[in-house]
Amino acid sequence: MNNITHQLALFGGGQEWLLILVLVLILFGGSKIPQLMRGVGQGVGELQKGLEEGKKGITKAAVADDDEKKSP
């Protein structure tokens, strides 16, 4: 089994996604799904902001470390 086929097998087929969708509808109801997705979207946005801040901090620390090494 090649890598792409193996990755697709992990996500399941159409029937599995349909079952998951039906279960979500039953558990949360149609009116709660937009609120749920909005919360997920906000969480992803916060995660991306945090990752960017982390990258900037690492880059700033690396530049400061390089500057210290260059100047005796």
Q: Are residues 41 and 63 in the same domain?
A: yes
Map tokens 């620390």 to a residue: 61
User: What single DSSP character describes residue 72?
Assistant: -
**Residue-number span of the structural domain to which 17 is assigned:** 1-29
Number of domains in the chain: 2
Q: Are residues 20 and 45 in the same domain?
A: no
Asked if residue 18 has pLDDT above 80, the reply is: yes
Let me know how long the chain is. Answer: 72
Long-range interactions of 13-21: CB distance < 8 A, separation 24+? none
Q: Are residues 38 and 11 in the same domain?
A: no
Mean pLDDT of 2-29: 74
- Residue 1 token pair: 């089994």
Q: Are residues 22 and 45 in the same domain?
A: no
Q: Are residues 55 and 65 in the same domain?
A: yes
Q: Are residues 12 and 44 in the same domain?
A: no
Q: Are residues 22 and 48 in the same domain?
A: no
Query: Of the ranges 13-17, 33-37, 55-59, which is most confident?
Result: 55-59
- Find all residues with CB under 8 Å of 24, minimum gap 6, and list them: 33
Other beta carbons within 10 Å of 9: 10
